[in-house]
A and B are shown apart, each in its own frame.
Chain A
Amino acid sequence: MLLSLAIWVPILAGLLALATGGDRNAPLQRQIALAGAIAGFLVTLPLYTGFDLRNPGMQFVEHRAWIPQFNVFYTLGVDGISMLFILLNAFTTVLVVIAGWSVIQQRVAQYMGAFLLMSGLLNGVFCALDGLLFYVFFEATLIPMFVIIGVWGGANRVYAALKFFLYTLFGSLLMLVALLYLYNKSGGSFAIRDWWKLPLPLAAQLWLFFGLLFAFAVKVPMWPVHTWLPDAHVEAPTGGSVVLAAIMLKLGAYGFVRFTLPILPDASRELAWLMIALSLIAVVYIGLVALVQTDMKKLIAYSSISHMGFVTLGFFIFNSYGIEGALIQMISHGFISAAMFLCVGVMYDRMYTRNIADYGGVVNTMPKFAAFMMLFAMANCGLPATSGFVGEFMVIMGTIKVSFWLAFAAATTLVFGAAYTLWMYKRVIFGAIGNEEVAKLKDLNSREFLVLGLLAIAVLFMGIYPLPFTEVMHASVNDLLRHMALPKF
């Protein structure tokens, strides 16, 4: 029941906001959205408090018939791998609603409604245990995001929205064929947990691996199918960027742990070299690309790709450090990228530019903001005692067990990450006041302070005391590794 609430509370709140009509009712619509987002977050909390740490299997399971003709069930459940993402998503939704409170003045209901609908659908992706249900949620999230980027985005929004939609649809459609193949091979079952046990010859596994790879790699995004992300990020409104970076990118990585690794363990081992290579290219090459960006959002977008490279690297070295580190990195990146995009949003709302060159000396007029951004920038480079450090450190630890040189290559991100983040920070925040516009800037208002403050607490807490996050994963991750060790044919 809890998981259904986590999905449907935000969706219903979103529909309610949409039903209130035009912009005349904007204040009411904002309140409905906030109430819906907070209620959506509150219903997910019992998932954490009631979670059984020793149970590696699915918890809070719901099982109802949905489309009997295809053996499709409305099956929901979470394990240690997926549970935290639901909380992260619900938390992010609250932040997004608050962040858009006064910035969005036109078509408020549609904006808030789209985000709430998306929040519910994303929760659905993370807890669906039925292949078709997963696919329906996975695809349905594209619709609100497409509208968000296209309606409230920047100058080149139409191109970005179409590119985003078509890229991800391409991946998902191939996944659909793969899912149908699995459905047939398993004798007519869409249950993901049945697929885990399904014996498959290596050749079939390899084909399926590529079918799924496209869908997930586009979403992560992995090099070389990452090019939609910088476009989408740059053109999306702040809230859109936050949800995109914090949650939507995680769908692809989540797909790897939920489908690829357990269903196709042999193909995963067989093709691990490819995945590791692509991940390292993302980490190193995209890190260098980030260095030369002149647009702040683009820089953070590239930094996201580079950080997600760590996640896929962690998955495909097949040890518990790697997988847990990758999962931690996903959550931490959810906080940090959200915070960085919100920081850019704060500046953009005042200056209407994202060019690094248009800033300089912001610390003189916005000291509180500069302090917050300092923290998040440091977390982005993986400074110890911030959440960014924990995941990257664990993945590097895991990689060293496999190969020193791989770990060495991965660790260069600590250098590049520091370089591009801090260099941007220096050019934007420090130095003499760049121009008259900067001189007139006002520091954070209380709403912005609240949003960034909450994220700062999350980043620091996770960096100093990660146990509450890692302990829920242990049982499920170890179970996954044991499962993967057995060949399937």
Chain B
Amino acid sequence: MTLDFIVGLPEIVLLAGACALMLADLYVKDVERRVSYAIAQAVLLVTAAATIFVLLGSGGELVYAFNKLYVADFMAHMLKLTAYGAVSLALVYSRQYLIDRGLMTGEFLTLLLFALLGMMVMMSANSFIAIYLGLELLSLCLYAMVALNRDSAASTEAAMKYFILGALASGMLLYGMSMLYGATGTLTITEVAKQLALLSKDSTQQTFLVFGLVFMVCGLAFKLGVAPFHMWIPDVYHGAPTAVTLVIGTAPKLAAFAMAMRLLVNGLLELAVDWQQMLSILAVLSMAIGNVTAIAQSNLKRMLAYSTIAHMGFMLLGLLSGVVGGNWRNAADAYGAAMFYTIVYVLMSVGSFGMLLLLSHKGFECEKLDDLKGLNRRNPWYAFLLLLIMFSLAGVPPTVGFYAKLMVLSAAVSAGMIWLAVVAVLFSLVGAYYYLRIVKLMYFDEPVIAAPVYVQPLGVRVLMSTNGLALLALGILPQPLMTLCLVAIKGL
């Protein structure tokens, strides 16, 4: 029993920290919430230390805890550490933005930490119930954060849409889970896998299982934000304050990826043939709708929202090429590719939304395409960083975005799905257009806004530069991250 609590230490630390922050914030009078902000960052740091402690203690081996409700493996640790990084960066980038708009409140910080807790539970879940609880904790925090700017009609509308559709998706997920529970008699994911292997392949059972699977994939697709379950993404990204968009668009993707791995790969690998077909339809639709629709957007946040849809579709290419004709030889490479893609996407997404935050200032939201015009004249360094981010999103070498695409394409080709690789490649060509348009606006056009860019504190600029240059550095030396992803997948 004590061991269980040690394995779950990161979540416990974060929960205690978040509660402490909630109480401490009551006594903070300062509008800028310096103390609360510092506490939040410190909690993240301590949680990261706890995670590393657990990781070193177990030697990266897989450990179950709490009657197999909870699993701690290398993938969970790695995704959690990435999520802490993303959340911490999100706080740094959005601090000034939130202060300027009077949104830097204890509620924001507390909700952010609780959302992170939800993600961590999802990443470490080994039971349908745990996954569902984590998901709801995350989602409820995010609904509230979207509506944080309560005087804004757009934010409220976005929050309502998000809530209603999110509730629907959770319902579908639960329905699917209940069917699988009915068929297998257990909620523990690893047990479900064992039961499925034992179940005879008679057709009635199979129909029942696939029926449950469809509902589960629908719920999953909603959380990942892939077409045709993507409708909420543009509205929420657009309506939420940019700081919240940054949060929604980054770390939760890691949690959604973890959820997909836990449910589909850990649990339902026996049904791979069925869910791979579903995912391939979702992938093609997402790449098509995301990339084509993004071209028509004049709002940067909406454009990035559609870009997210396209990227998640691309990521699915990795997930769906793991099992070929009952052969799992390809699995580690394919799922490793998907994980690499997700982590890289989060890094790029933090950078792109972070840049929008850095370019905004009091009374000005940088969210229209035209706001980027002539950025090279106003601040060449920011323009260069955003250029790196855009080329990385477009998948042009030598940035790391290229390797992310390469790995999933390679997985698809070695699974024999060359047509899918060609489709993906053609849509990424379409996608290249709107990323290039950003570069065009920054470099080729004359500035509309004459004022120089508001200068952020040195620390923020250093972090932003590191974030942008990391895309280049990882592109020149991608091996370490690839190895980590592969180790994580092999340790499942």
Contact = CB atoms under 8 A, between A and B. Distances in A.
Interface of A: 66-70, 110, 132, 135-136, 139-140, 142-143, 146-147, 150-151, 157-158, 161-162, 165-166, 169-170, 173-174, 176-177, 180-181, 183-184
Interface residues of B, number: 34
Given A147-B443, A151-B444, A180-B410, A67 B432 contact: no
9 contacts: A66-B479, A67-B403, A140-B398, A143-B396, A150-B439, A173-B426, A173-B429, A180-B414, A184-B413
Contact of B409 (A67, A110, A166, A177): A177
A57 to B, nearest CB: 28
Contacts of B406: 70, 132, 176, 180
Contacts of A143: 391, 396
Contact of B425 (A161, A176, A183): A176
B418 interface: yes
Majority-rule SS of B interface residues: helix
B418 A169 contact: no
B409 to A, nearest CB: 6
Sorted nearest first, the 10 A-B pairs with minimum C-beta distance are A136-B397, A173-B425, A150-B444, A180-B413, A139-B397, A69-B482, A184-B414, A67-B479, A177-B421, A158-B444
Nearest to B403: A67
Contact of A183 (B396, B410, B421, B444): B410
A184 B24 CA distance: 58
B440 interface: yes
A172 to B, nearest CB: 9
A174 B419 CA distance: 11
Interface in B286-329: none
Given A136-B398, A146-B439, A165-B432, 9 more contacts: A67-B478, A69-B486, A147-B439, A150-B440, A151-B444, A158-B440, A166-B429, A176-B406, A181-B413
B418 A69 contact: no
B444 A177 contact: no
- Chain A CB within 10 A, most for which of B426, B433, B436: B436
A150 B438 CA distance: 12
B64 interface: no
B67 interface: no
A145 B396 CA distance: 13
B479 A151 contact: no
B428 interface: yes
Contacts of A180: 406, 409-410, 413-414, 421
Contacts of B410: 70, 180, 183-184
B444 A157 contact: yes
A436 to B, nearest CB: 32
Interface string B380-403: 100000000001000011100011
Contacts of B429: 166, 169-170, 173
Given A69-B486, A143-B391, A136 B402 contact: yes
A42 B422 CA distance: 43
A162 B394 CA distance: 14
B479 A68 contact: yes
A343 B109 CA distance: 64
A162 B436 contact: yes
A177 B317 CA distance: 14
Contacts of B421: 177, 180
A272 B75 CA distance: 51
B456 interface: no
A146 B436 contact: yes
B152 interface: no
A170 B396 CA distance: 12
Contacts of A150: 439-440, 443-444
B277 interface: no
Contact of A151 (B396, B397, B409, B443): B443
B58 interface: no
B432 A166 contact: yes
A470 B403 CA distance: 39
Contacts of A183: 410, 413
B483 interface: yes
Contacts of A70: 406, 410, 482
Contacts of A66: 479
Contacts of B439: 146-147, 150
A139 B402 contact: yes
Contacts of A181: 413, 418
Contact of B396 (A140, A161, A162): A140
Contacts of A69: 479, 482-483, 486
Contacts of A140: 396-398
Nearest to B437: A162
Contacts of B422: 174, 177
A161 B422 CA distance: 25
Contacts of B486: 69
Contacts of B483: 69
A176 B443 contact: no
A237 to B, nearest CB: 13
Contacts of A110: 380
Contacts of B413: 177, 180-181, 183-184
B385 to A, nearest CB: 13
Nearest to A152: B444
B425 A177 contact: yes
Contacts of A173: 425-426, 428-429
Interface string B452-492: 00000000000000000000000000110011001000000
Given A139-B402, A140-B397, A67 B440 contact: no
Nearest to A167: B429
Given A150-B440, A174-B422, A177-B409, A162 B433 contact: yes
A184 to B, nearest CB: 5
A66 B397 CA distance: 15
A171 B410 CA distance: 18
B485 to A, nearest CB: 9
A135 B443 CA distance: 26
A67 B482 contact: yes
Contacts of B380: 110
A132 B403 CA distance: 10
Nearest to B479: A67
Given A146-B439, A151-B443, A181-B413, A169 B398 contact: no
A70 B426 CA distance: 23
Nearest to B384: A18
A67 B376 CA distance: 34
A165 B478 CA distance: 25
Contacts of A174: 422, 425
Contacts of A165: 432, 436
Nearest to A158: B444
A139 B376 CA distance: 23
Contacts of B426: 173
Contacts of B444: 150-151, 157-158, 161
Contacts of B432: 165-166, 169
A135 to B, nearest CB: 7
